[in-house]
Chain A
Amino acid sequence: MKKFLAVLLTVCLVASMAAFSLAEGKKTPSIAIVVAGSLGDRSFYDSANSGVEQLAADFGTETKVIECKEDASLYLSSLLEAAESCDIIAAVGWQFFDSLGEASEAFPNKKFIFIDNAFDEIPENMMCICYKQNEGSFLAGYIAAKLSKTGKIGAVGGEDADTINDFLVGYEAGAAYANPDIIVERQYAGDYEDPAKGKECALALYSSGCDIVFQVAGKTGEGVFEAAKETGNLAIGVDGDQKYIDPEHIICSMVKRVGKSIYDVVSDPDTYFKGGTVWSANMETGYIDVTYGEEGMTQQISDEIKAEVENIRQQIISGAIIVPTTLD
């Protein structure tokens, strides 16, 4: 009798589990994102987080977010922690270069996504997503040069690193394409989490005669917007569509849809997850773009310039314009 009950209960349990998984319909693997900095930058990391939130909303995906808050000693342990509980682990930030290889070796059966950087030899359980930020920054530079009244524009970078410089060379090339005489100044804040530093950098640029500043510095960039507002100058947002933050002073944003790329890989791994390869998320596929905020917001950019930008966009996609890069 006892045995019979046990069997019966087991059957019930298995049946209910099967029924449960059938009722859920399409099931995605669970995803953990490990971000090198911290959320709340309304830019790069928040973009990644929005992709994960969308997955949870659309498919009920199990998600996990771990923030390393720029603490390099947490990179490896956070990746390992994420890999223990989730199927796919996205390392968001080029900073994971030293620790991701070790983590992927420790968990050969899990899938790893490296956002914003690539290895020379990529293991089979990892894919790298590199974004063509130089293409979008080219458009941002073009717009800035067209709108500048002083003939001088600036950019604030988080630090002097390849990925950040990839934005900056694209920006400079775009500016020179619009106006060969344009002067482009750079400032590096040396920090992604210090808006006061960002404001200092932007004030330095504005006081030297720049009238438009492109921020590529995450949370530090909040200070750039603050400086633009205080001095009555203009700024360009990055990674997310940041125009809403201050529509009067932010003219456009160079968006890098990190969230969308994570969403695509996790919701359809069979199509998108190709282990051992680098996926180049570019302008053609829509992961890189320039946006002008939502309808009803003040527009500083005329429709003619927007049309020119669209034209250049097509030329970049077709390969007629080759944008310089600091990567590969």
Chain B
Amino acid sequence: MDWSTVFSMSTLVNTVNTATIVVLAGLGCLLTDQVGIMSIGIDGMMTAGAFAAVMGSWLCGSWLMGIVFALAAGLLFGLFYAVFVVRFKSDEFIIGVAMNIFAVALTTFMLRSIPGQTGSFHPATGTVTKLPAFTLTLPGGTPVTLSLMVPLSWLLVAVCWVMMYRTPLGYWLHASGEHPESLRSVGRSPERMRYLGSLLCGLLCGLSGAYLSLGYLSTFTENMSASRGYVAVACVIFGRSNPLYVFLAALLFGFIDTAGQRMQGVVDPTLTATFPYIGTILMMVLLAARTAIRKRRA
């Protein structure tokens, strides 16, 4: 393998495909960030969504039901999170981490009890219907297959941006995190906004999980989100909670990951495995440097 495979169309396509997992989860995470909660629990919501999607698709024989199941699972987890963090004012990090562990354990348990399988889901009867995909032919003549969820995630980025910066709802969400008292003074409940943010986060993370298990793959395995939720959190911090920047950050992370993987032919594989982490550190340093420069100017 040489440099031409590292920087190829296939690398770009795979970057977009894998980044979609992080984009959807990142959108969810930034909405909770808006309402003043740092949602570390999104990894668990994704795991739950991934499991529910496969179960829905398998039980009902339709990918649409898979999505519905995933949304429901995400919503439940979002509600669970909101009840503890907003209602009972528990520590969001502890609840988030607990939720991540809980989601892995719960899906493992349910995988063993509902279809009675261990580790990964491979039905003896029935099939898992994948999300629909379509094939485009690029100008160069290369056919590219994208899952329906990929353009949908782009649409959601736009919707999220418009909602945040062009609608009153967006400002209310933001105010509930930034300055709850001002929101209360105009007769709106910050708690209600926080609930909304957390529930929307659950829905988006459910979608992200559904894409992982039904769009990118067609199976569920234990702990399959493999900490991609934390990458999404990093993207939200790096993208300063702006949907567009978070989207770009996710693409950048995806590219570092995919290109790094493919550099194994030219660079030592033990070194390429560190690329995503080196990339993260570099980006955070850049971000800190930029903030410092801005502060000095101001």
Which A residues form the contact surface with B (CB < 8 A)?
A: 38-42, 45-46, 69, 160, 185-188, 190-191, 193-197, 199-201, 203-205, 207-208, 219, 222-223, 226, 230, 245
Contacts and interface: CB of A to CB of B under 8 A. Distances in A.
Nearest to A230: B145
Contacts of A69: 222-223
B217 A195 contact: yes
A38 B269 CA distance: 24
Contacts of A197: 226, 261
Contact of A201 (B10, B11, B119, B261): B261
24 contacts: A40-B117, A40-B222, A41-B120, A185-B265, A186-B269, A191-B226, A193-B223, A194-B226, A195-B219, A195-B221, A197-B261, A201-B261, A204-B14, A204-B261, A205-B1, A207-B11, A208-B262, A208-B265, A219-B119, A219-B120, A219-B221, A222-B120, A222-B217, A230-B145
A203 B17 CA distance: 12
B8 A40 contact: no
Contact of B264 (A38, A187, A195): A187
Q: Which 3 A-B pairs have the closest CB atoms?
A: A40-B119, A207-B10, A40-B120
A41 B1 contact: no
Interface centre among B1, B5, B212, B224 (most CB of A within 10 A): B1
Contact of A196 (B119, B120, B224): B224
* B interface residue count range (under 10 / 10 to 19 / 20 to 34 / 35 or more): 20 to 34
A40 B264 contact: no
A39 B8 contact: no
B224 A204 contact: no
A175 to B, nearest CB: 16
Given A40-B117, A42-B120, A222 B1 contact: no
B226 A41 contact: no
A267 B197 CA distance: 59
B270 interface: yes
A102 B40 CA distance: 37
Given A42-B120, A204-B262, A245-B122, 6 more contacts: A40-B120, A196-B18, A200-B258, A204-B14, A207-B11, A226-B219
B218 interface: yes
Contact of B118 (A40, A194, A245): A40
Contacts of B21: 196
Contacts, number: 95
B118 A160 contact: no
Interface string B1-28: 1000100101100100010010000000
A222 B221 CA distance: 10
Given A160-B269, A188-B269, A226 B217 contact: yes
Contacts of B264: 186-188
Interface string B213-231: 0001111011110100000
A187 B261 contact: yes
B90 to A, nearest CB: 26
A160 B269 CA distance: 7
A286 to B, nearest CB: 27
A190 to B, nearest CB: 5
Given A196-B226, A203-B14, A204-B262, A160 B221 contact: no
B92 to A, nearest CB: 25
Given A40-B119, A219-B120, A193 B222 contact: yes
Interface centre among A42, A190, A201, A205 (most CB of B within 10 A): A190
A160 to B, nearest CB: 5
B288 interface: no
B273 interface: yes
B273 A223 contact: no
B285 to A, nearest CB: 24
Contacts of B258: 200, 204
Given A39-B119, A193-B226, A204 B5 contact: yes
Contacts of A204: 1, 5, 10-11, 14, 258, 261-262
